[in-house]
Amino acid sequence: MNVLLLSMPDSFEHMPSVVIRMPNGALTSLAGNLDAHHHVAVADLILVQKQVRETVERLVRDTEPDIVGLSVMTFQRKTAKKIIDLVRHLRPQVKVVVGGYDPSLAPDGYTDNETGKVDFIVRGEGEITFRELLRAIEDESGYDHIKGLSYRSGDRFYHNPERNVSTLESTEIRPPNRKARVLSGYSILGRQVDVIETSRGCTFDCSFCSIIEMRGRNFHAYSFDRVIADIQDAYDNGARALFIVDDNISLNVKRLEALCQAIIDAGLNKIDYTVQAMTSSIANHGDTLAPLMRQAGFRYVFLGIENILEDDLQFLRASSKNTKREDGKKAGNATIKAIEYIHKNGMYVIGGLIVGNPDDTRESIEANLEFARRYVDWPYIQHPTPYPRTPMTKDFRERGLIINENLEDYDGTTAVVKTEHMSAEDAEFMRWQAERWMKVRFMPVAFRHEPWFIIKNAPKMFADTFRGSTWKNFLGWEDEREAFKRYRAIRKIERAYI
């Protein structure tokens, strides 16, 4: 069969698309796990944000798909439905499958008949379920035996029992197939970027994170042989920067250290790595871990700081993962120590913070913004966002704080919840106003590493970061609120990708 797999074009605000266009790791993993006789094409629509319709039309014409699969996050649901409508219009007989976080955690959002008729929902991990689904379609053997699958029959949707997560130990999940990609242009600061996975899962239960509802509290890892072969494959396919997409690679510090050593031994430390990590792991093991990470080529560490105030951390259920230990005892917040280790070893901090929590005031948000100004290299400051089935969503709903139900705004940088003390718009304004200047400050660092890219693209990067602003704002002749209003209007238009 011909299979066309699509990831959505919707992107976030943190970095302009000219700076970062990353592949979706799920699709190549699915492609690598189908039976060999299928023809699979993978298209990351983030690469063609301005030509989504034309690209989908061309791909449907060229690949003549029997199956179209879409990977969807919550804020991409509206776009996904428009794309499904288009695909159905172009090829009415096609079977449409959706998977990823939104269909898995909110399947009811895909079972309607009105628009974007979906035939199958793959819930949770997709490789085995999708492989079995294609076999069942080919053999016409029915769908009720496929775990993790929801399927339409007539006007009804049937939801099969859940599938257990894979332990990743055997060869049950085969390596990704990067050759299936049919679009090009992946980039981070001009360097070709790819994604790799070394493990799945996490044993924490932060209230804002979708991972626990998605797969339970567990941690499973691939063998180093497989990981190193995967990195080599990404390199052979042109990648010179890699984003490690593991949910929480720093959960097992000994393993992470051994992985760094394996990367060094394999000579793959010529790649720039970006990784997400907990502050506690780095703070508590930085003496040995941080130098090894640097030697292995790690450049950017996305730190899940979440918040610097203890009350907020408690609400986010993120206190323990941010706790420093001394002599086996709790010794306060781990963030500053972790940042020191990262900086001392020549790496940079992408600072993940969440502001606008229920009890936040102007002062508590400002304290976090001030912290970011002082300590982080690149800000990744978000508003708490009530994604389907997270514990946080329940809290916000019970307290009546959700003010915006338009899912396309759930991109993390649009405040869709108010606090008990301030409006959502005020919280968003504070973040927006502060974050732009923090990004400008990072330019010299980026310039030292990628001078030609920055020389060529600095005006575009600046224009993107400050869209909505005019000279009047810079000269103080116009209230920045006006620029913020224009920025929000621009963002709204941008979100209509198709």
Give the interface with ligand SF4 as residue ranges (CB under 6 A). 202, 204-206, 209, 211, 247-248, 278, 304, 321
Residue 47 or residue 318: which is nearer to ligand SF4 going by CB? 318
Candidate residues 87, 180, 245, 349; the one interacting with ligand B12 per rule CB under 6 A = 245
Exposure string for 251-286, b = 16+ CB within 10 A, e = fewer: bbbebbbebbebbeeeebbebbbbbbbbbbbbbbbb
> By CB under 6 A, is residue 12 in contact with ligand B12?
yes
Among ligand B12, ligand SF4, none, what binds residue 99 when CB lies within 5 to 8 Å by partner kind? ligand B12
* CB closer to ligand B12, 406 vs 470: 406
Q: Is 114 exposed, middle or buried (0-12, 13-18, 19+ CB in 10 A)?
A: exposed
Which one of 209, 253, 416, 424 is in contact with ligand B12 (CB under 6 A)?
Answer: 209
Picked from ligand SF4, ligand B12, none, the partner binding residue 157 (CB below 5 to 8 A depending on kind) is: none
- Residue 175 binds ligand B12, judged by CB under 6 A: no
Residue 304's binding partner among ligand SF4, ligand B12, none (Cβ under 5 to 8 angstroms by kind) is ligand SF4
Q: Is 25 near ligand B12 (CB under 6 A)?
A: yes
- C-alpha dist (Å) from residue 222 to 150, 167, 255, 402: 28, 8, 11, 39
Is 214 or 337 the residue whose CB approaches ligand B12 more closely?
214
Q: How far is the CB of 486 from ligand SF4 (least distance, A)?
A: 33
Q: Which residue from 3, 4, 19, 22 is in contact with ligand B12, where contact means CB under 6 A? A: 22
Spell out, one character per residue from 384 to 403, where the chain touches ligand B12: x when CB under 6 A holds, - when not: ---xx---------------
211 lies in the binding site for ligand B12 (CB under 6 A): yes
The residue to which tokens 């332990």 are assigned: 167
Helices 52-63, 77-90: crossing angle, 10 deg rounding: 40
Measured over the CA atoms of residue 207, residue 210, residue 216 and residue 219, the dihedral's sign is negative
The CA distance from 242 to 262, in Å, is 16
> In angstroms, rounded to a whole number, what is the distance separating the alpha carbons of residues 63 and 60?
5
**What DSSP assignment string belongs to 83-136?**
HHHHHHHH-TT-EEEEESHHHHH-GGGG--SSSS--SEEE-S--HHHHHHHHHH
Q: Which is nearer to ligand SF4, 163 or 321 (CB)?
A: 321
110 lies in the binding site for ligand B12 (CB under 6 A):
no
In whole angstroms, the minimum distance from the beta carbon of 267 to ligand B12 comes to 25
> What is the Cα–Cα distance from 201 to 219, expressed in whole angstroms?
4
The residue among 175, 135, 129 whose CA lies nearest residue 38 is 135
DSSP-derived letter for residue 161 is P
Residues forming contacts to ligand B12 in the complex (CB under 6 A) are 5, 10-12, 14, 22, 24-26, 29-30, 69-71, 73-75, 97, 99-102, 105, 122, 125-127, 130, 195, 197, 209-211, 243, 245, 247, 382, 387-388, 411-413
